[in-house]
Amino acid sequence: MKISIIGTGYVGLTTGIAFAKYGFNVVCVDKVKGKIKSLSNGVAPFYEPGLGKILKKLVDERLIEGSTNLEKAVKNSDVSFICVGTPSLPNGLISLEHVKDAAKDVGKALEKKKGYHLVVVKSTVTPLTTEKIVLALIEKYSKKKVGKDFGICMNPEFLREGNALNDALHPDRVVMGEYDKKSGDILMKLYRNFKCKKMRTKLRTAEMIKYASNSFLATKITFANEMANICEKFGIDVYEVMKGVGLDKRISPYFLNAGCGFGGSCFKKDISAIISASRSKNYTPKLLETVLDMNETQPLQIIRMAESVLGNLKNKKITLLGLSFKPGTDDVRETRALSIAKTLLKKGTKIIAYDPKAMKNFKKLAGHRNIVYAKNAKAALRKVDACIIQTSWEEFKNLRPKDFKVMKTPVVIDGRRTFDNTEIFAKNGIVYLGIGWKNFAI
Ligand code: UDX
């Protein structure tokens, strides 16, 4: 079976690579010529650990290729995956512009294709989009009938940035929403070499599983953050509490790390989308609204901690370590570093910022005004009044108490519980404060 992938962003390219690795011939289609040129040379058009190496190998083995010709790619394949972006609109809903364009183009190509074809929606779309919009557009533009001439599936992705390749090759589960048995049987064949749990369900259920999963993960983090804020009041370490909580099999230890909030392109976008979609059906998801609200206020805990030690932050110099939304990526979308920086700047604080990978992207987001970008973590710490850690990069984990001694006042405010041994700071005369850490002895 030959596969065409429409959209070579994060999801499309990683999915294409995974299928090529499992032996299928894959053609990745994109309108952006630069992306296809880069892909055809075996160079990933964005940063993701491990992707470049495997892509080069698969291109050399002719298992994967790039193309800007969608019609040809669809006509020459048996299955097409729609992997285009669904960005947020100002009202929280997702924009279906690219999904609709892709569905129309696939439909037009199918009009000219002989034989059965399977279309799989992988883009994150709110419930009913596949059956009410994508399916209808394909039927309209192909002049063909679903169930007879073509099939349709919805197959959500659960890729984490920084771990996308591994998640694509070795997923925890594959969820397959199917229009009918024939569609689902073909998708099952594509996934036959994936050793994981597979679930077959309805199209709309598959769409909802993606939203429910991300909503739950974000809620779990927010719950840990709430516990952290409570623990702090009682002089309790929330990480020890969550260790105990996570031992319960029903809860599991994952996604219980408290901090200054979740960032990234997915959680906020997906939760906003499902809230807006629910509201359009006259239901207000209060829990999810609270999750988003709390995530906006959580970074302010860091500012409060800084003020508790330094008093007024006007004209104070503060180092901000870690600008990406999590370690292992240069992605700054929804990074909590921006909320922290903006609040500090409003208070008249001078910021020295550093990140091993994300400085270029952060500069575009936050601008240069009143933010000085340092060469490395150690240089960023020189003569400052406090240091805030927003992303727990390995480079920061390796900092030793002596590295903080170059600060004017050695105060470390840890938004991510970066260090295993937090007791070492006090022993070295360094003030250490952290989210959900026993900051003030009781
Ligand atoms: C997420 C989902 O995990 C993935 O399944 C989905 O497909 C896309 O969105 P990603 O955005 O790459 O993936 O990052 P993830 O590792 O989930 O972390 C998101 C944010 O939550 C980060 O800012 C991270 O620092 C934060 N986080 C994560 C916590 O604060 N605590 C945790 O315990 C885990």
Residues known to be catalytic: 266
Question: What is the DSSP track for 302-321?
Answer: HHHHHHHHHS--TT-EEEEE
pLDDT tens digit at each of 442 positions of the chain: 999 999 999 899 999 999 999 999 999 999 999 999 999 999 988 878 889 999 999 999 999 999 999 999 999 999 999 999 999 999 999 999 999 999 999 999 999 999 999 999 999 999 999 999 999 999 999 999 999 999 999 999 999 988 999 999 999 999 999 999 999 999 999 999 999 999 999 999 999 999 999 999 999 999 999 999 999 999 999 999 999 999 999 999 999 999 999 999 999 999 999 999 999 999 999 999 999 999 999 999 999 999 999 999 999 999 999 999 999 888 999 999 999 999 999 999 999 999 999 999 999 999 767 799 999 999 999 999 999 999 999 999 999 999 999 999 999 999 999 999 988 999 999 999 999 998 776 6
CATH superfamily membership of 232-442: NAD(P)-binding Rossmann-like Domain (3.40.50.720)
**Substitution site in 11, 174, 217, 390 for ligand 1 pocket (most atoms within 8 Å of beta carbon):** 217
| pTM of the predicted protein model | 0.96
E-strand ranges in 7-162 read: 25-29, 64-67, 79-82, 117-121, 150-154
CA 262 to ligand 1 center in whole angstroms: 7
Domain layout of the chain by residue ranges: 2-201, 232-442
CA 375 to ligand 1 center in whole angstroms: 27
Q: Which atom of ligand 1 is nearest to the CA of 161?
A: 12
CA 44 to ligand 1 center in whole angstroms: 22
CA 217 to ligand 1 center in whole angstroms: 8
Measured from CB, residues less than 6 Å from any atom of ligand 1 are: 157-161, 214, 217, 221, 255-257, 259, 262-264, 266-267, 325-326
The CATH number of the domain covering residues in 2-201: 3.40.50.720
Ligand 1, atom 11: closest residue by C-alpha: 264
Q: If DSSP codes are grouped into helix, strand and coil, which group holds residue 195?
A: coil
Instruction: Tell me the C-alpha distance between 321 and 333, whole Å.
Output: 16
Strands of 317-321's sheet in order across: 371-373, 350-354, 317-321, 386-389, 411-414, 431-434
Instruction: Tell me the C-alpha distance between 74 and 108, whole Å.
Output: 10
Ligand 1, atom 10: closest residue by C-alpha: 160
Identify whether the C-beta of residue 322 lies closer than 8 Å to the C-beta of residue 335: no
Ligand 1, atom 34: closest residue by C-alpha: 255
Q: Hey, what amino acid is at 160? A: R
Q: What is the pLDDT of residues 217-263, one digit of tens each?
A: 999 999 999 999 999 999 999 999 999 999 999 999 999 999 999 99
Instruction: Tell me the C-alpha distance between 299 and 416, whole Å.
Output: 11
- Our CA dihedral for 368, 372, 377, 380, rounded to 10 degrees, sits at -160
Stated as kind and residue range, the H or E segment containing 229 is helix 203-233
Q: Which atom of ligand 1 is nearest to the CA of 220?
A: 33
Q: If DSSP codes are grouped into helix, strand and coil, which group holds residue 80?
A: strand
Nearest CA among 109, 112, 110, 82 for reference residue 97 = 82
- Our CA dihedral for 192, 196, 200, 204, rounded to 10 degrees, sits at -120
Residue 396: phi, psi to the nearest 5?
-80, -35
Ligand 1, atom 1: closest residue by C-alpha: 160
Q: What is the pLDDT of residues 414-425, one digit of tens each?
A: 999 999 998 899
Ligand 1, atom 33: closest residue by C-alpha: 255
Strand partners, 65: 27
**Substitution site in 46, 251, 266 for ligand 1 pocket (most atoms within 8 Å of beta carbon):** 266
Identify whether the C-beta of residue 356 lies closer than 8 Å to the C-beta of residue 322: no
Burial classification of residue 421, based on how many CB atoms lie within 10 Å of its CB (0-12 exposed, 13-18 middle, 19 or more buried): exposed
Pairing of strands 173-178, 197-201: parallel
Asked if 2-201 and 232-442 have one fold, the answer is yes
